[in-house]
A and B are shown apart, each in its own frame.
Chain A
Amino acid sequence: MTNHWVDIKNADVVLIMGGNAAEAHPCGFKWVTEAKAHNKARLIVVDPRFTRSASVADVYAPIRTGTDIAFLGGVIKYLLTEDKIQHEYVRSYTDLSFIVREDFAFTDGLYSGYNPEKRSYDKSTWDYEFGHDGYVKTDPTLEHPRCVYQLMKRHYARYTPEMVERVCGTPKEKFLQVCEIIGSTAPPNRAMTVMYALGWTQHSVGTQMIRAGAMMQLLLGNIGVSGGGMNALRGHSNIQGLTDLGLMSNLLTGYLTLPGEKEQEYDKYIAARAFKPLRPNQLSYWQNYNKFHVSLMKAWWGDAATRENNWAYDYLPKLDKGYDMLQTFELMSQGKMNGFICQGFNPLAAAPNKAKMTGGLAKLKFLVIMDPLATETSEFWRNYGEHNDVDPSKIQTEVFRLPTSCFAEEDGALVNSGRWLQWHWKGAEPPGEARTDLEIMGELFTRLRALYKSDGGAFPDPIVNLYWPYAVAKSPSPEELAKEYSGRALQDVTDPKNPTQVIRKAGEQLAGFAELRDDGSTLSGCWLYCGAWGPNGNLMARRDNSDPTGIGQTLNWAYSWPANRRVMYNRASCDPSGKPFNPDRKLIAWNGTAWTGADVPDYKADEDPALGMGPFIMNAEGVARFFGRGNLAEGPFPEHYEPFESPLARNPLSPAQEQTLSNPAARVFKDDRAAFGKVAEFPHVATTYRLTEHFHYWTKHVRLNAILQPEQFVEIGEGLAKEFGIASGDRVKVSSNRGFIKAVAVVTKRLRTLPADGKPVHTVGIPIHWGFTGLAKPGFLANTLTPVVGDGNSQTPEFKSFLVKVEKL
């Protein structure tokens, strides 16, 4: 979230699209009800299903699953055509005036530089035009035909209300009603918040859907302001934390990135990440990259990371490609993986195409499960009848199942969706012999280290030299680790403006990432969290909930990254002279000498606004980007592409060629493409989702939740029910080209038959929560049905839109 949960109460309009906050985040949704009750806010829900969020909305607009870019592109066109934009904001804080290279082009659904064999782009033309001074050329009049404003206007000219209705199935009047309410937040004193979740991310064009939403918000001046923002509602309690801490194939901590194998030289590796400003007088905060990186290397390899060895650059593995989950399971099913560890993760249930997953796990030599619960993955080899029809005798994988503690049995911090790091305390011991994950990882590592010390082996250096200062080596404590990722001075740290002034003595915890140095004198395991455990102790454990301004800014409750800032980009809540656009919901303001207010300024704290530094300090441009340059795989502006399993044969927005039906730049493995189904055989569109009564695949193990939704069901609309003679309570079989599930049918008015390019299409709703272990009635894993194809950038699987057929049993 750019903002945070409580701030939603400040919204004038709430758009829930690509998510279902009332069901997936009920307690956060309360701030929507607060905005409605006390701020007269209007709630819009755009969703293929009439959800429980929709049940309390002022306006509900149905949409065919997977067509959100068409809808949002239509909104962008509406805002531009009807002049519902925040002029001062877009002029000063975005790239609308930037001029783009002459050879950049977009034709028939493809951008310049496409290579159909590789299914990827040469992105070199997707860039600005630079002047002799090295800065981007601009046209403040916005009249230059290649300025971003004009390009964007041309790009979205095709996204008319009629086109929206044709692609999305949303009735034109409903769409225009939504546009009008959204457009009402263009004035500087009004704000709209956008709440989204996996309804946007789980598409082959998920990242671009989110970008389209962000572009809409920028046009309205709704980013950086109280009650505004792009708010990703994260689905698990520490998914934010694990992402911040970089537990992904290509990341280090704090969104630092691992080197690619071509990056053999350390200096070039850093230079490629320490972006130089693209406009005069801009901050471009990533210029500090090296300080963050060196402090991380000191936290991981201590004295073994020296200037001479480029801070142990050699110890870091180098990527030839990303090894995300889908790539890993592809390798597994090809028999190229031997070992796998699942720590609190149930991939048999959570990954697409269960049959492929089962085949992959069966090819492993060993599988290690660390979990508090008996997951399906841990028993993938066991026969559970038609719910898991395998032959154990044919599966040679050794499986270890290690019992772990749960939240109630450990101390530590979790990061919520609003970026708050909150400490929690243990209330009881884990059951039986269960251990904490720290004890397990600690002991596993110390055993490996001992083996490498005694026996040697392949490149033992990064293992035997890993900085391991913990009092009990096989069981590092949460406090030790929290202090380490926050960071401390290894030598005295001095003020750069006055080198005789020591601001932090050796051994002291650091107060924030501004104190990090690139000379090895500081250590911080995650620069973004620097200061969370500062010189004054554990700020994550703070519990002062006072809100002096009444707009929900509880700065002394826990700790929010970065730098305890609660609303990101909050400089953009003020006009260029530093006055709040909306004085009633003031976050910060320039008082003549400094930026002060209800939040920690997202800006240089003493920067005079007259000097023209932009509010988006993490961007080299200093401003927000409508034109995405080469940052995303599919192109600089979001363009609608159909899901990989689509009821359509051609993309109504680019009908000229077949290759633009679906995302032309998404990675698709050969076996997965072969497993796609065709509309002739699988005529219904399906989408998977959570119900509010359950959490993922956990709460089927929880009696109280099993009582609330005891048995697997699918939802079908009245149209489909009539066609197949299905009544509520009947059992149905739902098949895709990858497998089938059987479940009870819930027939409802809440799922409509929508026209897709004129042809009526039924949507089948498939809640995910059942499986073959637990207290709820045994069921099929919903991912038996889903296709393996990821978003072109994030590789998040397309769980939200695929083809099935329904039969009455």
Chain B
Amino acid sequence: MNSANTKTKITKKDLFKANWRWLWSSQICWNYERMMSTGYLYTMLPTLKKLYPDDDDLIEMMKTHNQFFNTNAYVGGFIVGMDMAIEEKEGTKAKDTVAGLKTGLMGPFAGVGDTIVGVILPTIFGSIGAYMGLKGNPIGAIIWLLVNFAVLFLRFTLLPLGYAQGEKLIYAAGDKLNRITDAAILLGVTVVGALIPTVVSAKVPLVFQSGKVTLKAQSVLNQIMPSLVPVLLVALCYWLLGKKKMNSTRLIVCVLIGGIILGGFGILSK
């Protein structure tokens, strides 16, 4: 805990190195016990070696960074950046601060990152891509690939931003982030609404005959509402997911079997 280590400066090159390591390693050794702890440690390792020439300090801080950590990898670089700024200034004295900061921020960051990068982006671009892909058109898939490259570029800016701005920015941006997340969700929900009638294909091919009058079930349904069957199926699945013992995997199995049975008996068709 000598004071010499506090004079070591973190350079732009160090930031880039950490950024690069975070990109490749944050989840590389993900495990059930401490999740992203190893990835965090691997990212910090060059910085730690630079800041703590003393072996005991180094071991102490390596232990600190190999504790439970789990957040969204896309935005987690921001936390690493803040951590680097604090350790550069305070050294081993910041041990508890850093541990608290990591555990305090990983949840909110996971919330924002998982929602926007993990759900809303795949919803929007997955919907467009799948809609085109079902017709054999690769343009949607290619757009999505380009978007992913753009996201890759953007996430590289977060770690230096965290280093430069630190806590200040988090508090200032809290409100704004909420609104951006909400607006993104709104966009996602709109796209999902359009998804129901376009990608779910289910018709009722039954034909009823009484005397000379034939009644086609599907044309009756169409008069009530277009895509009524897909809407009802989505509502049914939504309701089922609210049941206690239902999860996504079970639901997929149920729908697969249900589809085979209904299709086999000719009650539903594509």
The answer to whether A and B assemble together is no
Interface residues of A (CB under 8 A from B): none
